[in-house]
Structure 1
Amino acid sequence: MENSLHNPTNHSLLPSWNLLPSYNSTSPSTNSSRRSCCKWIGIVCNVFGSVTEINLTSSNLKGTLQYFNFSSFPNLLAFVLTNNSLYGSIPPQISNLSTLTNLNLGWNQLSGNIPFEIGMLVSLEVFWVHNNSLSGAIPVSIGNLSSLTFLALEENQIFGTIPKEVGQLSSLNQLYLFENHLSGSIPSAIGNLSKLSYLDLSTNNITGSIPKEVGQLSSLMLLHLYENHLSGSIPSSIGNLSKLSVLDLDDNNFIGSIPKEVGQLSSLMVLFLFTNHLNGSIPTSTGNLSNLENLGISDNSLTGNLPENICLGGKLKRISAYNNHFTGSIPKSLRYCNTLVRVNLKDNLLTGNISEEFGVYSNLYFMDLSNNKFGGELSGNWGKCPKLMTLNFSNNKISGTLSPELGKAIQLHTLDLSSNLLVGKIPEALGI
């Protein structure tokens, strides 16, 4: 083994590693060599002296797998070389590790294709090759890995389409393909993955619409599809994902309205739909999202009022709805939502008396309501927000004088009230 893997700075790690003898040999000397290797760092053996685990995570190894004698490890269960400096391709001979359940080669410099022979590792449960420079397509043979629960191919240069054979991975719990060069559409067969909890296909070149079969992923907790070229409307079937806590569809080309069925996602904590082409009003059913903490719907063409019960659950921390066409006043539930830390509603058509719209927020650090149609006088309550750092009410119709109480916001470093109808002097307490 030392012939293909070496540690250039810490020779004590692999003091006597050599290619292991063939397990076909039954000579006493072979048995002795086999048992002695069980004392090496990173090696685990069973009671018969057969190697069952090789784990050299973060061992500063450099080398290739081209000369690795895979056939010398017929009982290997775990092959873990993550976070090293391995380069070159994954040899097709890796298929000789027929008992392997855990293969982790992530955080290296591997290149070339994922070999078709990977599909022969039918006992594999965990397959990590993330953060490498792998290219080529995902082999269709991957559909043979019926025991696979975890598949991480993210942050490589993999291209081509997602093979429909992925839908055969009936045991799969987590699927990470983000930050590659994948194209084509999401196969409808992905709806067969009834045990899938985490699906991340973000930052690729995927096109087409979200297949309605995604609504069959009854165990799904996280769905990341952001930064692709997806189009069409958001399917109403997405409302079936009762366990979903994170839905991120931003930076795509979705059109149409937000389906009212989104309001059925009772476990949802994060809803990101920004930078699309969505229109129509936000369904009032979003007020049912009592666990919602982060709402991002900026950079669309949404109209109407903000949902009246948007903070009914009392957990909302961040809301970004800028650059839409929202009208009306701030919902009462948002006015008294003391969990808020960041609010950005700029570039809309919102109205109302600014002195009545908001209260005092113990954790708020950012508030931007610029480029709207708010009127009235600015309340001194903003000076009672101890963490407030940015307050931007520019380009509205705010009138009256500035309260000296604003000077009590000791963390405030950005205050923009330009292009309003203010009169009088700037209070000395503001230190301007």
Structure 2
Amino acid sequence: MSLVLHYDFGPIMNNIIRVGSILSQHEYMESVGYSCKDECQLTGVIPTELGSLSELRVLSFLKNALSGNVPSSFGNLSSLQVLELAENNLGESIPKVLGSLTLNTIAVGGNRLSGTIPPSLLNLSSLIQFDVGGNQIQGSLPADLGLTIPNLQFFSIGMNQFVGPIPPSVSNWTTLEVIQFGKTKLSGKVPSFGNMPKLRYFSIFYNHLGSGNSEDLSFVCPLTNSTALKSFRIDRNRLGGALPRCIGNFSSTLRSLGVNENLMSGEISGEIGNLVNLEVSDMYLNKFSGEVPSNFGNLQNLVGLQLIDNNLEGKIPTSLGNLTKLIRLSLGLRHFGISSKKWRSHSNSSSPLLSNAINSDSIVDLGYNSCLRDFQDTAPPLV
């Protein structure tokens, strides 16, 4: 029968070599965990001796200052299920031998790892959480990715140097809750993610996805099936076409909507006013035309609304005055702001348009959208 031990080392035991010498004496240890901030962080290189703990199931050194590499001796940890080494200073590549284990969690994000992901690691059907985000890893995603690791709940490769397309097979991830592809170099067509009812965070921002055509946003409407969605970030890509009206059918739990810095065109659908819990809506630097939808006034929880650098025209809807939590409002091209105090001191009673909405820390940027000319008679000078 295995001996269950869990060490929680105090501030004086902050050298990983000293920790390793203690742990290696307990062959049947099943769990090792250490995380701390600042003065009690573990330092040094991870000892290869830890690979002798044959019964170890959980190894967690989150948020420390460990350096060196991930020891290849970890391939001997035949019982290991959870490996958490995120937010350290680990370098070199991920050992191929980890692909021979039965891991359900690997979290090595926030390090300095390079090279490619070992193919064997992406064939672990036992994986539930996979996090390599915030490293310097290269390569492309295999076409059968969604088939070889079908039970994922968390998948993060963001802030790396991956290239190529997102494999359509990811539609097989029916239990996925978090997907983070942001700030890599992925390109091509965005596949469907419509079979993910538990999806909460969808992030593919800052890539080279899309080609500026009308079919680029075909993946959007299937996401209405994700009834727990809180964040939808597709900004800074090459996505073209009109933003589908189905955006208004997204989950009422949605808090963050980012479609800025793309090639989208057409009118902004009034259905966006159905997203009553939305807090941030970034839609700037596109080619949206028409009027600002009056239904934006339904978004009582809105803190930030940015529509700058589009082709909007007409009148600014008075319903924006209902947005009492608004801190940042950007409707134009130029980046400059005024405080609510200055706004109210220049506004007159015939134009209470936004004075009720902007609190003491707010910034208003109206810039050069065509709708500004219908506002010049009553707005304060933007100087």
For normalisation by structure 2, the TM-score amounts to 0.79
What does residue range 313-392 of structure 1 map to in structure 2 within 5 Å? Answer: 313-337=226-250, 338-356=252-270, 358-392=272-306
Contact 1:389 1:412 (C-alpha < 8 Å) held by counterparts = yes
1:355 Cα deviation from its structure 2 partner: 4.1
Counterpart residue number, 1:127: 32
Structural mapping, 1:9-408, within 5 Å: 101-109=4-12, 110-111=14-15, 113=17, 114-115=19-20, 118-131=23-36, 132-194=40-102, 196-239=103-146, 240-283=148-191, 285-304=192-211, 305-306=216-217, 307-308=219-220, 309-337=222-250, 338-356=252-270, 358-408=272-322
8 Å Cα contact 2:273/2:299 also seen in 1: no
1:413 and 2:362 matched: no
CA distance in 2, matches of 1:245, 1:197: 10
- Separation of aligned partners in 2, 1:193 and 1:333: 43
Change (3 A) 1:120 1:392: same
Q: Is the 2:270–2:295 contact (alpha carbons within 8 Å) kept by the matching residues of 1? A: no
3-state SS in 2 of match to 1:255:
strand
What is the alpha-carbon distance in structure 1 between the residues aligned to residue 168 and residue 139 of structure 2?
16
Q: What SS class does the counterpart of residue 229 from structure 1 fall into?
A: coil
Whether the 8 Å contact between 1:198 and 1:222 is mirrored in structure 2 is yes
Compute the displacement of 1:117 (Å).
6.6
Structure 1 segments unaligned to the other structure (5+ residues): 1-76, 78-98
Q: SS where residue 279 of structure 1 aligns?
A: strand
Aligned counterparts of 1:414 and 1:115: Cα–Cα separation in 2:
51
Higher relative contact order (CA 8 A, sep 6+): 2
Question: Structure 1 residues 351, 171: closer, same or farther in 2, change over 3 A?
Answer: same
What's the offset of the Cα at 1:334?
Answer: 2.1
The 1:217–1:429 alpha-carbon spacing in structure 2 relative to 1, beyond 3 Å, is: farther
Corresponding residue pairs, total? 332
Could you give the per-residue CA deviations for residues 47-96 of structure 1, whole angstroms, max 9, x where no partner exists? xxxxxxxxxxxxxxxxxxxxxxxxxxxxxx9xxxxxxxxxxxxxxxxxxx
The alignment's TM-score, normalised by the length of structure 1, stands at 0.71
Q: Is the 8 A contact 1:320 1:344 kept in 2?
A: yes
Which AA in structure 2 matches 1:119? S
- C-alpha change, 1:168 and 1:223, in structure 2 (3 Å) is same
> What CA deviation, in whole Å up to 9, does each residue of 1:9-31 have, x standing for no partner?
xxxxxxxxxxxxxxxxxxxxxxx
What SS is found at the alignment partner of 1:334? helix
SS in 2 for 1:287: coil
Cα drift, residue 107 of structure 1:
4.9
Q: Tell me if the contact between 1:310 and 1:331 (Cα under 8 Å) persists in the aligned partners.
A: no
What stretches of structure 2 of length at least 5 have no aligned partner?
A: 333-367
Q: Is the 8 A contact 1:212 1:238 kept in 2?
A: no
1:150 is displaced (CA, Å) by 1.2
Name the CA shift for 1:123/1:366 in 2 (closer, same or farther; >3 Å).
Answer: same
Higher-Rg member (1/2): 1
CA contact (8 A) 2:248 2:274 kept: no
Percentage of pairs with the same residue: 30
Provide the rounded CA distance (Å) in 1 between the counterparts of 2:73 and 2:32. Answer: 16
CA displacement, residues 278-319 of structure 1 (integer Å, 9 cap, x when unaligned): 111212x32332322211111111114131323333332211
